[in-house]
Each structure stands twice: as structure tokens, then as C-alpha cells.
């Protein structure tokens, strides 16, 4: 009998190998259809009307002129906002649907909304603007520890609001057909997408809402719920009796569809001459728009510093709302902590690697980080290249190394999966999961094919529909653990059901069988075998379908999945001190994530993270005009992402030895994006000899720091 337990490393045929992503070719060829590409017969285009004021009372909304424009088929307005306040520029107040995108745009311009402007607050740099009672944390005796410390190192650091900038914007196509609502959203949560708000908007109960998301162009934590755009497009589709496409334009995507909170901090570190960390005091502030909080995981990873004090102050601003951004709070906490620690090493005139090797002893995974730090150092050529802070060589281009460590949870989510074996030998797995571009489809196919002893092509993976068994949303790096386990369980049960049919014909007990290389065979007498095709023919006319259910707590106890990873990253940068231009020579990422299903897509996750990390370290920043509250760079011209030429050489090393493998599966979507900002900022400091305290490390900021430090 087949058991669900993960096969031993030497028995695996697909799991852990480097396997191309299943949907690579259709994506490369442009055949994969994203929500944006869905065009339904008779479809209308919707455009939004938004507040031009950062704060105002909404007095009235008049859609009559827009509604009477030729080609306009439906309008929507938010009467519940009348007499109330709009709280940021871009807040949606109305919408129109029309025959073409252009008509819709023009009609949206004819909606008359009247406002009474009110004073707004858009500044996130000044902690005194916080109106809340600060959150505090206190361990040990900080004052005493500082009094005894050999050195006290103080610094101020900051990481601004950035956006998700999903290349496919938020939105959906909605269509009411035969009492059913069909939606094609760009979402990270297919199974739970059809919530009460779109049900209310369309008048269709959840059991008649059909969600379909086969491909999506990035969510990064911002695409769990239908959003107001989901609600509005459903309402417009109902009103018009025609399908409606509502996808955000780039400016709104950047302004209102989520962003990562800022975090600024004053940090004081106390340490002994030998690098022993004794105290850390932090005042941190920042904004998440009107809601949310402030990143508070400081000290980050090195969290066993005995004496710690933290004060966190949230600043409410009239700006677009924050949304979870890949590893919420961690990149900020990491950048703030690691910057302060590297500054401490510099103050002690200590080699940074030696310092961090010591510092990670104050973490929950001292051994993992120590090993990873050594591997990363080898990969980047640390010994050959390292110098104390400030590149001593002449010339205007200074080179430096920096490092950072990070952690994440990543325990698999609840997931249900049906695996069907058909009499013709074909196999399919169905689950209401989604592939955000991560390789989820590929991973499920690998697990099912491995379990059934079949080649990858033999299994068909059906995901992206809420009609399939419920599977968790893709957040918290939980998908790979969830879907691998549920599909493993389902495939194992289905295989055992097939064994039960085949065993009598082969003259053995079912538990004497295994599936391997396209055959079902007797484990201790492999010549006694039957081809997969013939075995399935024995099913007659009936398929076998089995449901696998991942209950995270149980699977974790049984070793299928786990949580808690460690990663180390190092950056090698060059900085032209006459122009302030910082460039990446190389990034090295060393990452553990337990047992790996597909080494290639796992590495790709890390490469992607590094690219995203270079972007927020060097270029990305949502720039707000304080006087108007407007985001000034809500475009992809001045909202800069990194291009291929900007990212330097990227090296990824996954920890794959048996000890890591034995832990079971752990998610990887988030951890590798946590460290790049810190590692790059530390490398720049190491190169130029002074700290550039605020990300992104643009020429203006680098030059200001160089001038302040008397370097130029």
C-alpha cells in the first residue's frame, strides 16, 4: 500500500529536481489569458470616478449627464458616502460602464461630485503627528545596560511607503448569465473570493458565483478580497445586463490598490568591545494610511538581545490604504535592525561577518544562520573583497559588501484537493487554489505525478476555480505546504483505491504494490507488474476520485510540513561618489525552506525576490505632495522598478541537505524579499564609509550623506 509520507530522497523521481514551470510556454507565447485579457461577448468597460481631495465632505454625486451619454450603459455611485468624508485622493465615489473604454473614460469625467474640502494630513516623517497612545515593549533593564556598554551607537533610518505595483492591475470581468454570476478576477484567493459584498452587489448568492482565475499578474499580498472594484463591476454588470470589465488604470493601481507602510526609526544599540550586543532602544514611526500599524519586529531576528525597549507610533495619513506587502512588516523591521547593527560593527571597527556570526547567536536559529552566513561569504568572495567600513582604494567608484539575515513562518494552509484516476489512465487534480506566477501548478503536478509513478505530462492540474475543492488563499507563504500535502493525500488515496482493484488480478495484497515508472508493480518482485494504462482499464467505466485534506496542525505534527525558515543575503555594490549612483555588482541569497518540491521554481522565487529587493533598495518610493496629499509619481516613469540591467549578478543557494529536507515543506514566497534592502544599504555604507540612512538609495540621498560625512 502506498503511504503518504514523503518518499526518501533517493527514491524521488521528480520532487526536488529542477523542473521547468508548467505554464512557462503559454506565458512566454502570450497565450495565457489574464483577467485583463478576458473579453466577453457584448462586454462593457467600466471607469471609476475618484476623489481629487485628500480629505473632504462629499456633498453630492450627479451621474445624470454621464448616464445620458451615448454608449453609456450603467452607472454606479456610492450614496452611502454622502455627507461623509472621503479620506484620500483616489477614493472611489462613482463609476460608469460603456461600450468602449474611451466612452467610459469620457463619461467618468462627466460625473459631477461636489466636495467640501477639509484639512488633510499626508506627512509620515514626523513622529509628533501620531495621535495614538504609542505601543511599547520593554525587556530587561535598558538604562542599566547602556550605562555598562562599551559603545553606544545611535542612528536614524527610514524606509518609505512603496506600492505593490502589480504588473496586472486589480480588477475583474463580471458577467451575469442564467442566474449565475461569473467573475474573472485577478486574485490571490480563488476559493474565498466570492464574498458577501459581491453577492450583495449582484443579488446572486455565493453558491451561484463562479470564480475563474487561471493566470494572474502579481498580487504580493494586495489581492485577497474583491475590493470595491469587484463590487462595482458586479453591480454594473447586473444593472446593464451585460458583462463588464473593470481593471484599475496604472495611476489608480499605484494610488489606491495597496501599499507597504513606511517605517522610520531612531535606534540606539549598546554593545561590548567584543561585539556582544547588550541593549537596543528603538522609537519607530510610520504610516499605513488611515488604518494599520507600524512595523515592530525590532530587533529583528537578533531578538534575544537581553535589554530592549521599543516605542511605536502610528501616524494616520490621508493617503491610499496599506495592504499586506510580501512579508508584511519584515522588510522594514529587517532594514531598520540590520542597519543599526552594521553601524554598531563599524563603530567597533569589527569585521561585519565576524560581528554578524556573533549576533546571530542571539536568534532562534543560531546554527542555521551561522551555516548560511559562511556559505554566503564563500559565494560572494567575502574574504577576498571585504574591508572595514569605507573602501580604502582611490578613485571615485567605491565598492562594498553588506549582509542581512531574515526569517519567516510559512506553514502550509488548509487545502482540499480531489485527484481522479480515469479508466483511460488519465489523471487530474482539482483544487480551488491559484498560481500567482509562483509555480503552484507545477508543484501540484510534480507531487501528483511522483505519487502515481507517472511522468509530469500524464497529470492534468485544474486550479483557479471556486467550483473546485476549497483551498487556501496564497498569503503568508502557505501555498506550497498546503497544496502539496492535500494533493499528496488525495493521490495516495486514489492510488490505493486502484491497488485494491489491481491487486487481486496480480495475485498479491494491495500493500505489496507500488507505482513506479508508469507501472504498478510488486515491491519485492518488480517483474510482476502491469502498465498504468492497463491497470486503469480494470476500472471499467468508473473513475476513482479521492479527496485529500490538509489540516495544517496535523500535517505539521506528522512531518509533512513545517514552519520557520532562515535566510542570509549579501550584496556587493559599487557607488560612484561623484554622482551618488549606486549599482549592484552581485547579490547572493542563501535560503532554507525545508523540503523542496521544485528546485527551479524555488530558485526563481528567490531570484524574483532579489529583483524586487533591488528595486525597493535603490529606486522605489511612493512620493506624496504634502500640500495636496497627491501621490506625485503614480506612473511607471517616476515610480521606478528595477530593469534587468540594474540587478547585477544574482546567485541563489538553497539549503537542501537532509536535515533541512527532513523538516517537510515550508513556504518560500516571502522570506527572500526581506533582506535585500538591508544588505544593499549595508553594502553602500561599507563602500562609501558613511550610512545613507533612508531608502531608496538614490543619487540625491547618497550625495547628501557623503556631503554630511565630509567624504565629498
Partner 1 sequence: MKSFEYAIPSSLEEASSLLAQSWGETEILAGGTDLVTSLKQQVTAPKRVVSLRNISSLKGITVQRQSVRIGAMTTLADLTANSAVKEHFPALVKAVQGIGSQQIISAGTVGGDLCQRPRCWYYRNGFGLFGKQGDTSLVLEGDNRYHAIFGNEGPAYFVSASSLGPALIALGATLKISGTKGKTREVAAREFFRTPKSESERETVLRPNEILFEITIPIRGLKNATYEVRHRQGLDWPYVTATVSFALKGGTASNASVVLGHVAPVPWPSAAASKALNGARIDASLAAKCGQAATEGAKPLSGNAYKLQLVKTAVKRAVLDAAAAA
Partner 2 sequence: MNNEETEFRIEVPCRHLRNKEMYYQEHGQADDEFSSGLFWCGKTHESFGPDGQPSGKNECCRGRSCYIS
- Cα 391 to Cα 684: distance, rounded to the nearest angstrom: 10
Cell representation of residue 684: 553602500
Q: Residue 269: what are its φ and ψ, rounded to 5°? A: -115, 135
- Cα 331 to Cα 317: distance, rounded to the nearest angstrom: 21
The reply on whether position 87 binds partner 2 by CB under 8 A is yes
Which of positions 98-117 make contact with partner 1 (CB under 8 A)? 102, 105-106, 109
Q: What does 672 interact with, of partner 2, partner 1, none (CB < 5 to 8 A by kind)?
A: none
Binding mask 53-92 for partner 1 (x = CB under 8 A): ----------------------------------------
Cell 512588516 found at? 329
Q: What does 472 interact with, of partner 1, partner 2, none (CB < 5 to 8 A by kind)?
A: partner 2
Q: What does 203 interact with, of partner 2, partner 1, none (CB < 5 to 8 A by kind)?
A: none
CB-based contact 618:697 (threshold 8 Å)? yes
- Of 461, 475, 479, 463, nearest to 431 by C-alpha is 463
Cell representation of residue 616: 525597493
- Cα 693 to Cα 554: distance, rounded to the nearest angstrom: 45
Residue 541: Cβ within 10 Å count: 5
The reply on whether position 700 binds partner 1 by CB under 8 A is yes
Binding mask 563-592 for partner 1 (x = CB under 8 A): ---------------xxxx-----------
User: Three-state DSSP class for 636?
Assistant: coil
Q: Contacting partner 2 (CB under 8 A), which of 121, 163, 225, 591?
A: 225
Which of positions 455-484 make contact with partner 2 (CB under 8 A)? 472-476, 478-479, 482
Binding mask 226-245 for partner 2 (x = CB under 8 A): xxx-xx--------------
Across 225-302, the runs of DSSP E, i.e. the strands, are 244-247, 259-260, 263-271, 277-286
Helices marked H in 307-387 — which ranges? 330-347, 352-359, 366-380, 382-385
The region of 284-292, 418-426, 441-449, 511-519 touching partner 2 under the rule CB under 8 A is: 284-292
What is the smallest separation between the CB atom of 677 and partner 1, expressed in angstroms? 16
The reply on whether position 164 binds partner 1 by CB under 8 A is no
Residue 126: Cβ within 10 Å count: 10
Q: Contacting partner 1 (CB under 8 A), which of 531, 640, 656, 709?
A: 640
The reply on whether position 423 binds partner 2 by CB under 8 A is no
List Cα–Cα distances, 698 to 160, 391, 568, in angstroms: 13, 19, 24
DSSP 470: B
- Cα 550 to Cα 547: distance, rounded to the nearest angstrom: 10
- Identity of the residue, 445 or 618, whose beta carbon is nearer to partner 1 in the bound complex: 618
The reply on whether position 290 binds partner 1 by CB under 8 A is no
The reply on whether position 599 binds partner 1 by CB under 8 A is no
Helices marked H in 89-141 — which ranges? 101-108
Which of positions 390-419 make contact with partner 2 (CB under 8 A)? 408-409, 413-414
- Cα 452 to Cα 41: distance, rounded to the nearest angstrom: 41
Residues near partner 1 (CB under 8 A): 102, 105-106, 109, 578-581, 618-619, 623, 625-628, 630, 632-633, 635, 637-638, 640, 642-646, 698-700, 703-704, 707, 712
Residues near partner 2 (CB under 8 A): 80, 84-85, 87, 91, 188-189, 192, 195-197, 221, 224-228, 230-231, 288-293, 297, 316, 321-324, 328-329, 408-409, 413-414, 472-476, 478-479, 482, 551-553
Amino acid at each position: 500500500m502506498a503511504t503518504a509520507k514523503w518518499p526518501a530522497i533517493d527514491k524521488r523521481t521528480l520532487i526536488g529536481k529542477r523542473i521547468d514551470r508548467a505554464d512557462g510556454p503559454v506565458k512566454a507565447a502570450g497565450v495565457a489569458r489574464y483577467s485583463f485579457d478576458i473579453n466577453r461577448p457584448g462586454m462593457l468597460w467600466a471607469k471609476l470616478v475618484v476623489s481629487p481631495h485628500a480629505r473632504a465632505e462629499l456633498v453630492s454625486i450627479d451621474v445624470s449627464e454621464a448616464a445620458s451619454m451615448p454608449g453609456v450603459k450603467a452607472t454606479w455611485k456610492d450614496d452611502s458616502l454622502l455627507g461623509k468624508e472621503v479620506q484620500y485622493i483616489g477614493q472611489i465615489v462613482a463609476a460608469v460602464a460603456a461600450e468602449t473604454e474611451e466612452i467610459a473614460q469620457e463619461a467618468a469625467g462627466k460625473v459631477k461630485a461636489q466636495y467640501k474640502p477639509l484639512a488633510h494630513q499626508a506627512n509620515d516623517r514626523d513622529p509628533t503627528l501620531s495621535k495614538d497612545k504609542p505601543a511599547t515593549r520593554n525587556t530587561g533593564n535598558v538604562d542599566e545596560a547602556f550605562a555598562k556598554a562599551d559603545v553606544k551607537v545611535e542612528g536614524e533610518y527610514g524606509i518609505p511607503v512603496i506600492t505593490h505595483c502589480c504588473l496586472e492591475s486589480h480588477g475583474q470581468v463580471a458577467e451575469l448569465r442564467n442566474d449565475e454570476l461569473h467573475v474573472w478576477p485577478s486574485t490571490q484567493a480563488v476559493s474565498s473570493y466570492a464574498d458577501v459584498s459581491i453577492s450583495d452587489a449582484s443579488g446572486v448568492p455565493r453558491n451561484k458565483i463562479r470564480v475563474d482565475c487561471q493566470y494572474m499578474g502579481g498580487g504580493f499580498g494586495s489581492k485577497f478580497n474583491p475590493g470595491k472594484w469587484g463590487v462595482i463591476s458586479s453591480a454594473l454588470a447586473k444593472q446593464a445586463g451585460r458583462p463588464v470589465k473593470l481593471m484599475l488604470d496604472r495611476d489608480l493601481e499605484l494610488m489606491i490598490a495597496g501599499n507597504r507602510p513606511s517605517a522610520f526609526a531612531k535606534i540606539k544599540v549598546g554593545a561590548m568591545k567584543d561585539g556582544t550586543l547588550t541593549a537596543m532602544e528603538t522609537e519607530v514611526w510610520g504610516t499605513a494610511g488611515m488604518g494599520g500599524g507600524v512595523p515592530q519586529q525590532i530587533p529583528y531576528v537578533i531578538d534575544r538581545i537581553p535589554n530592549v525597549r521599543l516605542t511605536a507610533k502610528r501616524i494616520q495619513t490621508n493617503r491610499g490604504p496599506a495592504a499586506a506587502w510580501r512579508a508584511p512588516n519584515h522588510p522594514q523591521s529587517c532594514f531598520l535592525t540590520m542597519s543599526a547593527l552594521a553601524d554598531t560593527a563599524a563603530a567597533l571597527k569589527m569585521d561585519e561577518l565576524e560581528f554578524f556570526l556573533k549576533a546571530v547567536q542571539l536568534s532562534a536559529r543560531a546554527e542555521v544562520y551561522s551555516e548560511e552566513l559562511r556559505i554566503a561569504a564563500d559565494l560572494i568572495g567575502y574574504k577576498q573583497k571585504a574591508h572595514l567600513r569605507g573602501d580604502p582604494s582611490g578613485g571615485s567608484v567605491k565598492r562594498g559588501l553588506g549582509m542581512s539575515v531574515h526569517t519567516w513562518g510559512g506553514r502550509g494552509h488548509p487545502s482540499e484537493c480531489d485527484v481522479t484516476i480515469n479508466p483511460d489512465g488519465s489523471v487530474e487534480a482539482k483544487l480551488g487554489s491559484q498560481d500567482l506566477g509562483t509555480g503552484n501548478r507545477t508543484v501540484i503536478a510534480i507531487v501528483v505525478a511522483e505519487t502515481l509513478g507517472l511522468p509530469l505530462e500524464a497529470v492534468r492540474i485544474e486550479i483557479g476555480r471556486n467550483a473546485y475543492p476549497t483551498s487556501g488563499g496564497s498569503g503568508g507563504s502557505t501555498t506550497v505546504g498546503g497544496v502539496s500535502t492535500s494533493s499528496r493525500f488525495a493521490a495516495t488515496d486514489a492510488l490505493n483505491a486502484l491497488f485494491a482493484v489491481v491487486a487481486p488480478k496480480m495475485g498479491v495484497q494491495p500493500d505489496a504494490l507500488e507505482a513506479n515508472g508508469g507501472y504498478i508493480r510488486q515491491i519485492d518482485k518488480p517483474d510482476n507488474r502491469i502498465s498504468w494504462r492497463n491497470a486503469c482499464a480494470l476500472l471499467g467505466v468508473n473513475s476513482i476520485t479521492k479527496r485529500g485534506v490538509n489540516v495544517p496542525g496535523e500535517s505539521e505534527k506528522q512531518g509533512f510540513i513545517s514552519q520557520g525558515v532562515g535566510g542570509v543575503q549579501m550584496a556587493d555594490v559599487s557607488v560612484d561618489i561623484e554622482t551618488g549612483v549606486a549599482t549592484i555588482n552581485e547579490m547572493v541569497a542563501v535560503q532554507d525552506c525545508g523540503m523542496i518540491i521544485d528546485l527551479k521554481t524555488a530558485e526563481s522565487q528567490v531570484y524574483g525576490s532579489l529583483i524586487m529587493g533591488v528595486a525597493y533598495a535603490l529606486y522605489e518610493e511612493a512620493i506624496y505632495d504634502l500640500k495636496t496629499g497627491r501621490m506625485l509619481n503614480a506612473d511607471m516613469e517616476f515610480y521606478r522598478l528595477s530593469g534587468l540591467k540594474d540587478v547585477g549578478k544574482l546567485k541563489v543557494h538553497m539549503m537542501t541537505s537532509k536535515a533541512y529536507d527532513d523538516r517537510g515543506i515550508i513556504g518560500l514566497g516571502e522570506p527572500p524579499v526581506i533582506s535585500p534592502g538591508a544588505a544593499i544599504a549595508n553594502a553602500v555604507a561599507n563602500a562609501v564609509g558613511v550610512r545613507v540612512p533612508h531608502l531608496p538609495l538614490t543619487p540625491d540621498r547618497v550625495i547628501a550623506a557623503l556631503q554630511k560625512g565630509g567624504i565629498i
